Structure 1
């Protein structure tokens, strides 16, 4: 486990494709450089917002090695290693550690609406993954899994499974869950984190969140909120949050994972904002709306590549 807890802004890096849908590794490196320059305290790769579900195993390995080599220790990198199979998730997690990952992020095992794993199975899953590695595990608690993870159960995992110590809470009423998790888990909860593009960031910070995992397009904006709050100036944090909230809301409610690449392309950071089929390109009117809101804020993403 890390000597110092990981805190601050750890946005999800998009996976960059060219206009034909192939990996664009030069674009990937530029995206990472921008995110670091924009003030990211760390970066997460191969997450759902990275379109990890459209990548082959070989492509995952290529992206992982490319990013970790290119970052070269400038910031810590979290690698998402989610898989239904305990053994495959453990193998992915060990490979991420060996490649230089600071932490792995994992969702509970799930597959469709009818195959559900109970708490005993989930506990065994995380225990076996933990046994395979020596770095922290962040449990991603997100509605997409359809798997209910109570605060009590998560706190028990933190106390009983050595490397389980970080939690990205994205469920409804996230602040209430974070508050209860911290209360029940105590010192075993090293990193209670906010997620879901910062749509609940202020409430989650009030509840005790110490990290924020958002989209990758405007770490400069998110950092302004988190830093002010961490410095004890809650009024300034709220003021900055209100400035960025229209963009946060538009990304979360209108655009989803495509927003980051669209903003990066508009700013000259990457050449193509392509997403892989069956994901659809962003509607031109939605794109115009996103850029209109972003330009009011003059974020670094629209200036960095020009």
Structure 2
């Protein structure tokens, strides 16, 4: 059996763009150094927050190689590899370039709305197509289908390299059911910044975080305190960010966190269509909170 290495603070890494919409590799290099120097435990690349659907195949390959070369093995890298055509995902896993990648994050098939048996067979086939650790990604708000707790546990028991799930259903009862019934080698990772504290209290092992792009030092402190059972101190940090959590997603992801990073001087506030920058009113609120937090 393969154990999960993706624990603590994972960063759902954004893709910085220049004003001309090309990838800003200078900003990406700064961002990677910023994450590693400020407490990130692993990176999650080329997934939702990275605006991956709007990247070309060549861009994705170049970004992956750039990140691997700059990280130099200092922290693990989890890379997005999923879709709603099982055969295409399998082909990518078998023939793609995963050199320097430590695991794959695979989202539930979207749009098709498969049954639970369809989801089980999809992920079982994906797990069989690679020797890399696989982290399931359940985000029904985006995919239109929920990976039920029973299906998650079934996959965890039946597939030796399915090591964890990024749970972003927002359903703490479902999270608790997975944690109660899962095999010991399988882990639950929070997919919601705002629910990370209560999920860790339930037994989750960390988070794949959006806000961590901008505030890795502060958020990693909360995660570590919670993982060590120091809930009173961790809760106070969690509550400091409550308003910010809401603002990050009110205009879509990653519009909010890119606005934050722009305010911090890290990158241009540029997204690729159909995503657009956050509204000025939201931007002002984010700026006000950052001032209150002295960031």
Flag the 1:97–1:229 CA change in 2: closer, same or farther, 3 A.
farther
CA separation in 1, counterparts of 2:247 and 2:51? Answer: 19
CA separation in 2, counterparts of 1:3 and 1:131? Answer: 16
2:272 to 264, 276, 296: 276
Unpaired segments ≥5 residues, structure 1 = 300-306
Number of residues paired by the alignment? 292
Correspondence list, 1:175-214, <5 A: 175-189=172-186, 191-196=187-192, 198-214=193-209
**CA-to-aligned-CA distance 1:46-79 (integer Å, 9 cap, x gap):** 1111111111122111111111111111111110
CA separation in 1, counterparts of 2:245 and 2:96? Answer: 30
**CA-to-aligned-CA distance 1:1-22 (integer Å, 9 cap, x gap):** 6556331000111011110111
Question: Partner residue of 1:245?
Answer: 242
CA separation in 2, counterparts of 1:120 and 1:235? Answer: 41
Q: Secondary structure at the match of 1:202?
A: helix
Question: Partner residue of 1:267?
Answer: 264
Q: Which moved more, 1:1-10 or 1:45-54?
A: 1-10
Quote the offset at 1:82 in angstroms: 1.5
Q: Check whether the contact 2:249–2:255 (CA below 8 A) recurs between aligned residues.
A: no
Q: Check whether the contact 2:259–2:277 (CA below 8 A) recurs between aligned residues.
A: no
Flag the 1:94–1:77 CA change in 2: closer, same or farther, 3 A.
farther
Matched, 1:116 2:113: yes
Q: Check whether the contact 2:119–2:147 (CA below 8 A) recurs between aligned residues.
A: no
Matched, 1:217 2:214: yes
CA separation in 1, counterparts of 2:266 and 2:73? Answer: 22
Q: Which moved more, 1:203-212 or 1:244-253?
A: 244-253
Question: Partner residue of 1:302?
Answer: none
Correspondence list, 1:35-54, <5 A: 35-54=35-54
CA separation in 2, counterparts of 1:95 and 1:287? Answer: 42
Flag the 1:145–1:35 CA change in 2: closer, same or farther, 3 A.
same
Flag the 1:20–1:129 CA change in 2: closer, same or farther, 3 A.
same
CA separation in 1, counterparts of 2:275 and 2:25? Answer: 20
Q: Which moved more, 1:93-102 or 1:132-141?
A: 93-102
CA separation in 2, counterparts of 1:262 and 1:295? Answer: 14
**CA-to-aligned-CA distance 1:263-285 (integer Å, 9 cap, x gap):** 22222222x12000121222222
Quote the offset at 1:34 in angstroms: 1.2
Question: Partner residue of 1:140?
Answer: 137
Quote the offset at 1:188 in angstroms: 4.4
**CA-to-aligned-CA distance 1:270-302 (integer Å, 9 cap, x gap):** 2x1200012122222211111111222234xxx
Flag the 1:152–1:188 CA change in 2: closer, same or farther, 3 A.
farther
Matched, 1:63 2:63: yes
Query: If the length of structure 1 is used for normalisation, what is the TM-score?
Result: 0.89
Flag the 1:255–1:145 CA change in 2: closer, same or farther, 3 A.
closer
Unpaired segments ≥5 residues, structure 2 = none
CA separation in 1, counterparts of 2:96 and 2:2? Answer: 16
Flag the 1:102–1:90 CA change in 2: closer, same or farther, 3 A.
same
**CA-to-aligned-CA distance 1:172-205 (integer Å, 9 cap, x gap):** 32x221211021213242x211112x11122211
Matched, 1:294 2:290: yes
